[in-house]
Amino acid sequence: MSSINHYTSEIRFGALLFAVVALSVWVSRYIPEAYFDSAVTPILVSATTAVALCCAWITFRHTEGYRMRRIWGWMLILWAVLDGFYVISWLFMGKPVMNMGAYELSTMEIALGNLLGWSLLLFPTEALRPGWLNVRRALIQVLPIFALVGLDYLLPFSLRVLVGLYPVFLLILLFTHVREYRLWCEDNFSSLEDVDEKSILRFMCVGVLVGLVYFYMCVSHDHARGFTQQWLVIFALAYGTDLILFRPDPWEQVKQAAKDAAPKEDLPPQSNEAYRQALEAWMEQEKPYRNPDFKLVDLQKVLPMNRTYLSQFIHAEYDCSFYVFVNRYRVEEAKRVMSEHPGMKMAEVSSNCGFSSPSVFSRTFMTITGQSPKEWVKN
């Protein structure tokens, strides 16, 4: 049952994403090709522009000083401006800038598509590596787009395949930082609910689909390509806005927790063994791990170290991350509670021991002991 609960959100997300793609492809088969560029595409691009503007307005109203939200807001403005330019040219000039139906994309359309595809990567880049992206690095990432498009004009053979795959290449590079991000989370949080990489990976999966459909647009003349692409983009903009506004930012949480931590008076340096004894005595007596929001910086209440040294201390003394260190205490506390109160429900046990949910409790207990809580009670 716990594994089912664990994968429920992933299953729902996958089903929703599959429905967006499948329905768009299915509906597009019943739309005459003649109507795609004259009516369907302008309407969809107008909808994309409206969604981008609406999401940008909501994001800027709730930036609250978060850099990620400002970046996402300006990315939405970029989408609205470029798609709005298409809508305006269609309305007032009668001469569409883009032909997203059953026609070959022009070089300018490919360049704009790459630029917009790159902008979708700003969220996962900032989420995985906050503060890394600046103007210089952004230009380094964007310049190959225009270089490839320029070469496509000059060379006697087409570079459409390379141009179409460039955003996907950038996205693959981002995947190499996912493990590093997860290790950082495990070194700073005792509970990974809502702060791990799952939501970022979901958004990146949407980005992969957007990139693959865009690549298909570059090499095919299928009139369904633009229809599916626009629905995926609308889904990505709305889903990304939801993540940024309602998903806790772990980096900001750590920064805020470090500010809120009680200042530790200057104490003479002690041996690691003395620090270890002080930490273990505090954990056993005060049981801070019963708080689901227990963080690494909370150890500063007993250890006069900054966050970096605290993480190094845990790894050196206990050969594990902070996440594993705390959950070992939680599992031992759960064993004690279940032994003393054999009739207690698992939901009560998990909440009393600091687990964020019964499913997390069961999964963590199984990982550390090799048995489920119910199996352990029986044995």
Average pLDDT, the chain: 81
Between CA 174 and CA 134 the distance in angstroms is 16
Give the fold, CATH level 3, of 2-248. Answer: Rhopdopsin 7-helix transmembrane proteins (1.20.1070)
Taking the C-alpha atoms of residue 218 and residue 220, their distance in angstroms, rounded to an integer, is 6
For residue 269, is pLDDT > 60? no
Tens-place pLDDT, residues 186-241: 999 888 877 778 888 888 888 888 877 777 776 666 666 777 888 888 898 999 99
Residue 325 predicted with pLDDT over 90: yes
Which of 55, 92, 6 shows the shortest CA–CA distance to 236?
55
Nearest-Å Rg of the Cα atoms of the chain is: 26
- Euclidean distance between CA atoms 320 and 352, whole angstroms: 24
| pLDDT of amino acid 30 | 79
Tokens matching residue 366? 């199984």
pLDDT of residue 322: 93
Report, as an integer, the average pLDDT of 134-161.
82
Q: Is the pLDDT of residue 115 over 80?
A: yes
What's the pLDDT score for residue 66? Answer: 83
pLDDT band at 101 (very low <50, low <70, confident <90, very high): very low
Residue 345 has pLDDT above 90, yes or no: no
Sign, CA torsion 154/160/164/170: negative
pLDDT of residue 270: 64
Tens-place pLDDT, residues 54-70: 999 999 998 887 888 89
- pLDDT value at residue 1: 37
Indicate where the chain has its CATH 1.20.1070 domain(s).
2-248
Helix, strand, coil distribution of the chain in percent, nearest 5:
75, 0, 25
| pLDDT, mean of residues 247-275 | 69
Q: What pLDDT, on the 0 to 100 scale, is given for residue 7? A: 53
Over residues 82-105, mean pLDDT: 65
Confidence of residue 350 (pLDDT cuts 50, 70, 90): confident
HSE-up of residue 50 (Cα within 13 Å, Cβ side): 6
Q: Is the pLDDT of residue 362 over 60?
A: yes
Comma-separated ranges of CATH 1.10.10.60 domains in the chain = 261-378
Q: What is the pLDDT of residue 231?
A: 86
Q: Integer distance in angstroms from the first to the last C-alpha of the chain?
A: 20
Query: By the 8 A CB rule, do 199 and 240 touch?
Result: no
State the average pLDDT over residues 126-137: 87
CATH architecture type of domain 261-378: Orthogonal Bundle (1.10)
